[in-house]
Amino acid sequence: MKNDILNEYKRWCSLAREDQDLVNELKQIENNEELIEDAFYRNLEFGTGGLRGVIGAGTNRMNIYMVRKASQGLANYINKKYSNPSIAISYDSRIKSTLFAHIAAEVFAENGIKSFIYKELMPTPCLSYAVRELHCSAGIMVTASHNPSKYNGYKVYGEDGCQITTNAAKEILDEINKLDVFNNPIHGDYESLLKVGKIEIISDEIYTRFIERVKQESLLKDEPIDKSVRIIYSPLHGTGLKPITRILKECGYSDVIVVKEQEEPDGNFTTCPYPNPEIKEALSVGIEYMKKYDADLLVATDPDCDRVGIAIKNSGECILLSGNQVGILLLDYVCMMRQKHHTMPLNPVVVKTIVTTDMAFEIAKYYGVEVKEVLTGFKFIGEQILYLEQQGRENSYIFGFEESYGYLSGGYVRDKDAVDGTFLIVEMFAYYKNQGISLLEKLEELYKKHGYYSNYLNSYEFEGLKGFNRMQEIMDMFRGDAPSIGQYQILEKIDYQLGINNLPKSNVIKLLLSEGVTLVIRPSGTEPKIKVYVSIKGNSIEENNAKYQSLIKVINEVLK
């Protein structure tokens, strides 16, 4: 173990005395060089996704000291940029989320930045909305989204309510890097700052205005639909319970059953250790409810309620739909209903990420809609809405989505919104059910019309310093000169590190292979993982699955 790592560990043992959990952990790892190295070999990374890491002691962990340091760096950035700055703060149900939100507010307020904070946990889109409604200079959302319970973090938002992108993240990181974790951050006492008005609770009126604004995204007009559909809803122990049940009730959906075991906030995510609506295990309790109550639809939102996953019933079987499948169903529904009711704007725009299904191009072309493609991360979709707004064309934006279960149909917020996503999914489901059409039947109709597209995602974990180095080796290998991957010839290689199509440089590689196969390889921005996205266009889903199985065997060998 290097001396500088050991010295920093000893410094923390001496100075990190406020949080007893940290004191205990530092003592526990005293004789374990591997754990000390992992906790201190680097500073917790700050980027366009803000901070995210395992909760615990050390510079590579989420704790009150690293939150203070990051908040002080952000405060310095804000104070340099704005003359009368303010910030909005929200937080989810994760372990220490409330504490970290209060710690951050103490730093901002003591640095002269008026701090608005929700009185209770609230979804990410409510944070984005508050930034815009309160005309704040910035915002933070304390969350680690859908990561396992050992993680926490916070996302940083700009004055437009969109997550910061590359340039702002770099400037904030530069400010953070100037600071010592113990010596430089200044902070006051939360309750005292609240009493003198330097910290202010966000009013219930802001939350109500958010709900009312989401309602405006309805596409029905006077269309008759079946609002008696039985819906199972799970917030997966997170923030979605109040807004989701409220909006569905107020809009007349009369048979919503909440999964009791997952109703209350629980940072340990006791019933779903990986609270990600992308995976079947997270929805397993909800699926049991579907069977028990003979329900038509299951909807589940992740802890900070910006992603939504669904399951539907088909011949007695519960079928999970992917983010891409729900996305193309919603895209077609939005375009179809807007065209039907003559609410399609001039020069309409849809935005998707580079790893999201290319079937979006086919559907958009059918309706005469332009598609803008951006890097992975909904912040880049939000950025496109800003560009349209600056051109006086905000209403041209009609939908944005990403394969990882994120959807947004309006510019009232600038991040994916599972309240809006759930509202539209339920409406779409009820609309088609009223016509005797299931979502699977609608999906098959779209495949027949536009082509059979299949999308697959595999994640490969690489923990610790060795894993970090291995990830770099793998990306370098894919940038090499190999002519093929298994039986598939490499027809074209797109390296986004070079800056493609005016997009920011990003450590992502896209390989266009023979036989209608596309491969995208990218390190996760928030977890020690490499993600491999496979997209295939074929004559049937069965044909696509066979191609995928042959390809993934080769990929698995390469990424061992």
| pLDDT value at residue 468 | 86
Nearest partner of 148 among 64, 53, 219, judged by Cα: 53
The 3-state DSSP class for residue 380 equals helix
Same domain for 308 and 329, yes or no, is: no
Same domain for 382 and 465, yes or no, is: no
Same domain for 462 and 384, yes or no, is: no
The answer to whether the CB of 303 falls within 8 A of the CB of 91 is no
What CATH number does the domain containing 478 carry?
3.30.310.50
Same domain for 76 and 168, yes or no, is: yes
Same domain for 291 and 371, yes or no, is: no
On whether residue 18 sits in a domain, the answer given is no
The answer to whether the CB of 57 falls within 8 A of the CB of 63 is yes
| pLDDT value at residue 150 | 96
Q: What is the pLDDT along the chain (560 residues), one digit of tens a residue?
A: 688 999 999 999 999 999 999 999 999 999 999 999 999 999 998 888 889 999 999 999 999 999 999 999 999 999 999 999 999 999 999 999 999 999 999 999 999 999 999 999 999 999 999 999 999 999 999 999 988 999 999 999 999 999 998 889 999 999 999 999 999 999 999 999 999 999 999 999 999 999 999 999 999 998 989 899 999 999 999 999 999 999 999 999 999 999 999 999 999 999 998 899 999 999 999 999 999 999 999 999 999 999 999 999 988 899 999 999 999 999 999 999 999 999 999 999 999 999 999 999 999 999 999 999 999 999 999 999 999 999 999 999 999 999 999 999 999 999 999 999 999 999 999 999 999 999 999 999 999 999 999 999 999 999 888 888 899 999 998 998 888 898 999 999 999 999 888 788 889 999 999 999 999 999 886 678 999 999 999 999 999 999 999 999 999 988 87
Q: Going edge to edge, which strands form the sheet with 509-513?
A: 452-461, 529-538, 517-523, 509-513, 488-495, 484-485
Bridge-based pairing of strands 517-523 and 509-513 is antiparallel
Determine the Cα–Cα distance for residues 524 and 508; give it in Å rounded to an integer.
10
Same domain for 191 and 231, yes or no, is: no
Same domain for 309 and 345, yes or no, is: no
Same domain for 72 and 173, yes or no, is: yes
Same domain for 59 and 146, yes or no, is: yes
Cα 469 versus chain centre, distance:
26
Same domain for 343 and 241, yes or no, is: no
Same domain for 184 and 64, yes or no, is: yes
CA R_g for the chain: 23
Same domain for 408 and 545, yes or no, is: no
Find the domain containing 498 and state its range.
Answer: 452-558
Domain count, the chain: 4
Among 321, 341, 370, identify where a domain stops.
Answer: 321
| pLDDT value at residue 1 | 64
Q: Where in the sequence numbering do the catalytic residues fall?
A: 145
What CATH number does the domain containing 263 carry?
3.40.120.10
On whether residue 150 sits in a domain, the answer given is yes
| pLDDT value at residue 526 | 67
DSSP per position, 189-235:
-HHHHHHTTSEEEPPHHHHHHHHHHHHTT---TT----TT--EEEE-
| pLDDT value at residue 507 | 92
Please state the pTM of the whole predicted model.
Answer: 0.94
